[in-house]
Amino acid sequence: MSHSLKIYDTCIGCTQCVGACPTDVLEMIHWDGYKAKQIAYAPRIEDCVGCKRCESACSADFLSVRVYLWHEDNSQHGASLLIRSRKLHLNPFDFSLPTKTRTR
């Protein structure tokens, strides 16, 4: 079964993460009712290699390669994983602290 990932909490729709992804996991989709008109979306999250280039490229200082254990019921996509906040961390790739220097 394929898992998908929607990044919508503070996504500003800048597409920097999409361009930085070496495996083309991320794409932008239309999104109504939130801050951005489009959001980053990973329809094949299992293809992510955990390089964190998307995290470094994120101009909103939000995106992280942490996948949270929140389940979204969506019959179209099956099980989905949602990123909503930086506060609850479960990193499937390693248990290290983020490598990006934060200034805020």
pLDDT at 54 over 80: yes
d(CA 4, CA 103): 30
Over residues 65-85, the mean pLDDT reads: 39
Give the pTM. 0.55
> What's the CATH code of the domain at 12?
3.30.70.20
Is 42 within a domain?
Answer: yes
Is 27 within a domain?
Answer: yes
pLDDT at 27 over 50: yes
Q: How confident is the model at residue 11 (pLDDT cuts 50, 70, 90)?
A: confident
d(CA 94, CA 101): 18
CA distances from 40 to 15, 65, 96 (A): 7, 13, 24
Is 30 within a domain?
Answer: yes
Torsion sign over Cα 92, 94, 95, 97? negative
* Count of structural domains, the chain: 1
